[in-house]
Amino acid sequence: MAAANGAAAEAYYAQGAALWNAGRRQEAIAQLDAALKAKPDYPEALCMGAFILREQGKTDAALRFYDRALQLRGDFTIAWSNVGKLLFDLGRHQEAAAAFARLVALAPEDADGWNSYAGALRELGRMEESAAAARKALALRPDFPEAALNLGNALLKLDRVEEALPCYRRAKALKPDFAAAWNGEALALRALDRLDEALIAFDGAIGLGSNAAIGGKGCLQLSLGDFERGWEGYEARWLEGKSLKEALGVRFPIWTGAMTKGAKILVMKDHGLGDVIQFYRYVGLMAAAGIETTLFCPRSLHRLLSSFPGVRFIDALDNEPYEAQIAISSLPRAFGTRLETIPRPIPYLRAEPALEQKWAARIGAAGFRIGVVWQGNPNPEADMARAVSLVSFVPIAALPEVRLISLQKGFGTEQIAALPPNIKVETLGEDFDSGPDAFVDTAAAMSSLDLVITCDTSVAHLAGALGRPVWVALKKDAEWRWLRGRDDSPWYPTMRLFRQSEPGEWRGVFEAMAAAVKSSTKRA
């Protein structure tokens, strides 16, 4: 009986697969159901059923079917590939990487498997491993444009731009209409300061339908000071794989900048904390003009941003009848901001006096006190090349009378213990910014510091918004907001910028900072 059921199941399955390939889906599903009824533990039918369920948007059921298929047949490479891709699309990158790792262990000659593995590793921030997996895919299949793209993406994240550029060009040569490869080439050319070529590549990607390239070109225009065209392109920016409108939702008309007194406007956080701090100046201008302004952002920021009267804060969307909405990073466009008209009501954030007194007592008055930050957001989607190693500060730490005081929280603090014994970085205790309110202690501590030195992080924006002296260490291809070739910032008059001369080269940056600190302390 079991043998007969097995034979029947195989026949149903074969017929179902043929019908599916012929586009006769409902008939195919009926045959597949019959196969599983005859033989419930049929890995191939379960795998095909999972694929169909995913097509129907039933991802939880699809995962259960894949799981059962792999329990029955652990070496089922198609199932490992399919479940990895499903998990990847669901944003479950750790599980996806594990599935692809199992796949390539079972089928080490599977170029597609290695390429999929490279993509998952990239999402996890494991860039060296991602590059190695992409290289393996290309070794197995030299004419594999997607693998060339994945290799370029990993190398670009590692700031190995000279190596990334030929990867994108290889992908383009293999697939001339590959918009992502055109866009990647543009990003690499921008990083190499070959700006005219970068604009051409962005235009090529835009012609192929790439919204990411519209945003990328906009950022390049902004970095060149062309705010009129740059803000328009910046509206095409993507948030976690979605367009701005998809990510934030459109519940009300988009605010266009009309300063109508009494209008109820919803402003929404769209990027990181640094962006919120940088563009919060516009929220204050709206409130000052009599607009009933509500800022939708994490509760952790509400206390820090409470400097402006008239701003209402929410951390969950409510049912208020707003007249319009806008992303906070779109406010410069709505205000028609140009390079010469950047609002500079500095400071527009203020520390709490009681906290200033607390941290002043703990920090003390001795020496030249420098607050330091060396790492930003560890999220793989953040620009990891902006971070520096704490040992980069050694030339500054070696100066007489200088005290380095860590403002770093969480990720990166483990580097303090690894410093040479003759280099000291002070910490401010476990209670420093340990509560639910972000940066309130950091803001207060800055009032007792002579200088803040940081890589490109939200702390740079905080110091600038508070009007504190701040120096920022920038990678060669710095973000658009720092413009190009300048050592000052029109966004923050108390800020000084120190830029890499070559990608990945921090030594010259910190030697220049050390010389500037030495000069400052001599004058003092």
Contact 349, 280 (CB under 8 A): yes
Tokens 């190499």 -> residue: 192
Q: In what order do the strands lie in the sheet with 311-314?
A: 311-314, 292-296, 264-268, 324-327
Whether 353-523 and 176-246 are alike in CATH topology: the answer is no
Question: Residue 243's pLDDT is what?
Answer: 72
Sequential DSSP letters for 22-36: TT-HHHHHHHHHHHH
**pLDDT for position 25:** 82
Cα distance between residue 241 and residue 59, in whole Å:
19
In this structure, are strands 368-373 and 324-327 parallel, antiparallel, or unpaired?
Answer: unpaired
Looking at the DSSP bridge assignments, the partners of residue 92 are none
Q: What is the mean pLDDT of the chain?
A: 92
H or E element, residue 103: helix 93-106
Q: Looking at the chain, how many residues does it have?
A: 524
Report pLDDT digits (tens) over 348-371. Answer: 999 999 999 999 999 999 999 999
Q: Would strands 470-474 and 451-455 be described as parallel, antiparallel, or unpaired?
A: parallel
Q: Are 365 and 288 in contact, with CB atoms under 8 Å apart?
A: no
- Can you tell me whether residue 403 is helix, strand or coil? strand
Per residue in 260-306, pLDDT (tens digit) is 999 999 999 998 899 999 999 999 999 999 999 999 999 999 999 99
Furthest-apart CA pair in the chain: how many Å?
A: 96
The three-class DSSP label of residue 425 is: strand
Integer Cα distance of 178 and 326 in angstroms: 32
State the amino acid at position 171 in one-letter form.
A
Per-residue pLDDT of the chain (524 residues; tens, 9 = 90+): 445 556 787 887 888 778 878 888 888 788 877 878 888 888 888 888 888 889 889 999 999 999 999 999 999 999 999 999 999 999 999 999 999 999 999 999 999 999 999 999 999 999 999 999 999 999 999 999 999 999 999 999 999 999 999 999 999 999 999 999 999 999 999 999 999 999 999 999 999 999 999 999 999 999 999 999 999 999 998 776 677 777 788 899 999 999 999 999 999 999 889 999 999 999 999 999 999 999 999 999 999 999 888 899 999 999 899 999 999 999 999 999 999 999 988 999 999 999 999 999 999 999 999 999 998 766 655 567 788 999 999 999 999 999 999 999 888 889 988 888 888 999 999 999 999 999 999 999 999 999 999 999 999 999 999 999 999 999 999 999 999 999 999 999 999 999 999 888 999 999 999 999 998 776 65
Per the structure block, which two tokens stand in for 502? 């070559």
CB atoms within 10 A of CB 400: 8
Closest CA to 455 of 400, 411, 518, 403: 411
Question: What are the domain boundaries of the chain?
Answer: 1-35, 176-246, 251-341, 353-523
Distance, CA of 54 to CA of 298 (rounded, Å): 34
Other CB atoms within 10 Å distance of the CB of residue 484:
15
Residues 148 and 170: beta-carbon distance below 8 Å:
yes
pLDDT at 517: 95
Task: Using alpha carbons only, give the angle 461, 279, 342 rounded to the nearest 5 degrees.
Answer: 95
In CATH, the architecture of 176-246 is: Alpha Horseshoe (1.25)
What pLDDT score does 378 carry?
Answer: 64
Q: How far apart are CA 154 and CA 164, in angstroms?
A: 8
Token pair 């074969």: residue: 14
Give yes or no for a contact between 19 and 31, defined as CB atoms under 8 angstroms apart. yes
* pLDDT for 150: 98
DSSP 277-293: HHHHHHHHHHHHTT-EE
**Tokens standing for 442?**
């950091």
| The CATH number of domain 353-523, selected from 1.20.1250.20, 3.40.50.2000, 3.40.190.10, 3.30.365.10 | 3.40.50.2000
Q: Pairing state of beta strands 488-489 and 492-499? A: antiparallel
